[in-house]
């Protein structure tokens, strides 16, 4: 048996394996995956030499497999490297080992590092510092000399003006005054030219020096891009059909994102295919502290990242019977549940699982159903709810109503009340969460807390009930950022308790327990108070 293939410590005879392999971008971990993950966590906790790095946070993964005798076991992997190594015996090897001492990556990296050192040496050299100082002094001398000479010229002009005012000047005297003025103007030009010649020479020497630095930087960029392309050609992945492609092929000839192929899922599937093991199910989970800005909870399961892994796994999963993407499944019941309707707008009850607007994989949505049944014109969607969130959604019947209603939401004149169930017991009865948010560009649609670049996001909360380790809360968002409530609840600087069923920021369940329960605002045309409530189904 391979040293990377581990047997279950617990008896799994009574655990029914899944009929289809895990869809890695939206899943609830199968009990076999959970048992494997727990066994991996028990193992890594015995490794004191890894403790610091693991506690700082690391994504780990497990792949349950059948061997040639149909016996169940599992593989384990970590994202990136662990303590500067890719060859820890307990875990599967990388798709391509970037850390091989004599490998192409290390050699290319060494050449780029040498260029970096040369750039740093030149940028910090005494010669460049001397030239820069001389240039500053030359500019200062020019400004001072010209200023002094202009003051002298002003004094001479005042004296000439006085002579002219006194009158009785001979023609010769008049000519002498004119000649003096012309000479001083010409002398000022000569003074400027003398200083500019010195400055231009120094600027030329600095430009030549900087040109050599820029040339090195261009060479570094070229070498870096060429190295990345060569390395991504060496990342050759396989699928269940026995086919193989390198990452450059998978990305259609463009450079993949940095770090592609180094996540857990590609490593696990690659090892299984190359060693005759049949994938059964998989899961990825976080170990240790949450990264700054992100939401990762120790021991919680997370979907594979989309920016790096979606193209790779789309290829690697070919040949396996994979679970359907539940986010691409249309909501079974037809029609729309209307909570309020008038000449300007409609408020509908959106069920969990339905998109607000059409998506890439699914056209069925609140908007498409509304347009098919209503005589509407122009934009209709005033605000959105996540696909997994149920609740009240406002739709406009014409362009004028759409603008008026959007203005109400933008100016925070709509009071929104959400009900959520949180994993854990919130200690305080009420409070305010103020955490600015921005998209995680490497793992959309996830959002991150970012005090510097994030947009303001404010939420107040009020605890309604605490029972059996679950807290029911009422949430009031004062801003409408993507995933605002989900991040504010789950982030360590927020409530640090993910919403039940939040697969992105917490743990999967039957559904996301978040519901837009109430909308209150003044009708923009009738000026009547609109107050619509829909009790949550949980």
- Measured between alpha carbons, how far is residue 200 from residues 107, 197, 214, 309 in Å? 42, 5, 20, 54
Q: Which of 253, 257, 235, 269 lies closest to 307, judged by CA?
A: 257
Taken in order 438, 455, 428, 413, the sign of the CA dihedral is negative
Residue whose entry in the numeric block shows the structure tokens 């039957």:
510
The answer to whether the beta carbons of residues 26 and 503 sit under 8 Å apart is: yes
The answer to whether the beta carbons of residues 346 and 374 sit under 8 Å apart is: yes
Which positions ≥6 away from 530 have C-beta within 8 Å? 340, 347, 519, 520, 521, 522, 523
Element housing 144 (H / E): helix 126-166
Q: Which of 156, 154, 151, 149 lies closest to 177, judged by CA?
A: 156
What's the rounded Cα separation, in Å, for the pair 537 and 476?
19
Q: What angle do CA 401, 403, 408 make, to 5 degrees?
A: 95
Q: What helix, strand, coil percent values describe the chain, rounded to 5?
A: 40, 20, 40
3-class secondary structure, 141: helix
Q: Please tell me which residue in 246, 386, 440, 443 is annotated as part of the active site.
A: 386
What's the rounded Cα separation, in Å, for the pair 75 and 4?
6
What's the rounded Cα separation, in Å, for the pair 407 and 384?
15
Angle between helices 171-234 and 104-123 (to 10 degrees): 160
What's the rounded Cα separation, in Å, for the pair 440 and 453?
11
Put residue 274 in one of left, alpha, beta given phi > 0 → left and psi -120 to 50 → alpha.
Answer: alpha
CB burial string 481-512: b at 16+ within 10 A, e below: bbbbbbbbbbbebbbbbbbbbbbbbbbbbebb
Cα-trace Rg, the chain: 34
Instruction: For residue 363, indicate whether it is catalytic.
Output: no
Strands (E), 251-336: 278-287, 301-302
Q: Which residues are catalytic?
A: 386
């Amino acid at each position: 048996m391979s040293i990377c293939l581990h047997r279950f410590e617990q008896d799994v005879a009574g655990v029914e394996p899944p009929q289809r392999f895990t869809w890695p971008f939206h899943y609830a971990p199968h009990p076999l995956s959970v048992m494997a993950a727990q066994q991996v966590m028990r193992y890594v906790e015995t490794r004191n030499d890894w403790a610091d790095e693991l506690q700082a946070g690391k994504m780990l993964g497990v792949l349950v497999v059948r061997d040639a005798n149909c016996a169940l076991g599992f593989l384990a992997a970590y994202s990136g490297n662990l303590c500067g190594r890719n060859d820890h015996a307990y875990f599967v090897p990388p798709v391509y080992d970037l850390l091989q001492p004599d490998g192409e990556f290390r050699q290319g990296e060494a050449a780029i590092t040498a260029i970096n050192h040369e750039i740093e040496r030149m940028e910090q050299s005494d010669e460049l510092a001397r030239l820069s100082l001389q240039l500053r002094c030359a500019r200062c001398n020019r400004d001072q000399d010209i200023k002094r000479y202009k003051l002298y010229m002003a004094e001479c002009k005042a004296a000439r003006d006085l002579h002219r005012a006194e009158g009785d000047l001979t023609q010769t005297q008049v000519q002498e005054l004119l000649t003096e003025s012309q000479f001083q103007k010409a002398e000022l030009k000569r003074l400027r030219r003398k200083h500019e010649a010195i400055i231009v020479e120094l600027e030329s020497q600095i430009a030549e020096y900087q040109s050599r630095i820029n040339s090195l930087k261009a060479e570094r960029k070229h070498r870096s891009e060429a190295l990345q392309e060569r390395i991504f050609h060496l990342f050759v992945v396989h699928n269940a059909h026995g086919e193989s492609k390198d990452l450059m092929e998978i990305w259609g000839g463009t450079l993949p994102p940095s770090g592609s192929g180094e996540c857990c899922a590609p490593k696990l599937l690659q090892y299984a295919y190359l060693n005759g093991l049949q994938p059964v199910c998989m899961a990825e989970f976080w170990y240790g502290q949450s990264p700054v800005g992100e939401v990762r909870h120790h021991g919680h399961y997370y979907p594979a990242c989309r920016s790096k892994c979606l193209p790779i796994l789309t290829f690697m999963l070919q040949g396996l019977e994979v679970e359907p993407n539940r986010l691409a499944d249309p909501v079974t019941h037809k029609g729309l549940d209307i909570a309020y309707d008038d000449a300007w707008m409609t408020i509908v009850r959106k069920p969990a699982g339905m998109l607000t607007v059409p998506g890439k994989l699914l056209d069925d949505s609140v908007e498409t159903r509304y347009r098919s049944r209503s005589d509407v014109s122009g934009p209709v969607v005033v605000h959105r709810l996540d696909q997994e969130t149920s609740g009240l959604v406002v739709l406009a019947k014409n362009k004028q109503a759409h603008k008026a209603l959007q203005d109400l939401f933008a100016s925070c004149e709509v009071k929104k009340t959400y009900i959520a169930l949180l994993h854990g017991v919130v200690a305080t009865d009420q409070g305010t969460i103020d955490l600015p948010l921005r998209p995680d560009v490497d793992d959309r649609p996830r959002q991150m807390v970012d005090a510097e670049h994030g947009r303001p996001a404010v939420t107040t909360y009020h605890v309604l009930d605490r029972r059996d380790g679950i807290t029911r809360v009422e949430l009031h968002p004062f801003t409408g950022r993507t995933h605002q409530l989900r991040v504010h609840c789950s982030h360590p600087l927020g409530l640090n308790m993910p919403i039940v069923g939040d697969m992105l920021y917490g743990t999967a369940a039957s559904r996301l327990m978040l519901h837009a329960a109430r909308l209150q605002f003044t009708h923009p045309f009738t000026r009547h108070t609109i107050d619509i409530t829909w009790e949550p189904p949980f």
